[in-house]
Amino acid sequence: MLDHPNIVADRTVIDLGCGSGLVAIAAAKAGARCVTAIDVDPYAITATQLNAAANNVTIAAICADVLASDPPDTDIILAGDLFYDAELAERVTAFFDRCLAANIEILVGDPWRTPLPRARLELLAEYPGPDFGDLANATRMNAAFRFIASP
């Protein structure tokens, strides 16, 4: 987000599966009009709130499972590493389909995990870096994608 602020500048942004809030913070610093961070883990929400305060940005942090919900009122969804489990990948894909139908742009970051719906993703960039818990393997490729409609 910081290298390409035009992606989020003056837009409403949701960081889905926010973890520590890194992407939400980057979006806020890149000029997003409004940023909401969502995660099912209450510890992630606490970490996001603390990290947002430490970075002097305002982020609404919500602890919720929104995957069965209607599409949110937002311009863009940023989702990092939500395809690590086949059942979760299915739920996320269904939610993203509803969001696409509501004209919401969706960008996904992922280290090429197995349940990744590759046919539904347009590769935007790749960059080296370790996967979670695999700090020794810094040559692994991570990727940024645009989620697209079914071919």
The pair of structure tokens assigned to 37 is 């961070």
| pTM score | 0.91
Give the residue numbers spanning the domain of 100: 5-147
SS3 32: coil
Report the number of distinct structural domains present in the chain. Answer: 1
Give yes or no for residue 97 having a pLDDT over 60: yes
25-34 pLDDT, tens per residue?
A: 999 999 999 9
CATH number, domain of 140, equals: 3.40.50.150
Angle at 40 between CA 47 and CA 59, to 5 degrees: 45
Helix (H) or strand (E) holding 106: strand 105-110
Mean pLDDT in residue range 136-149: 79
Assign 151 a pLDDT band (cuts: 50, 70, 90). confident
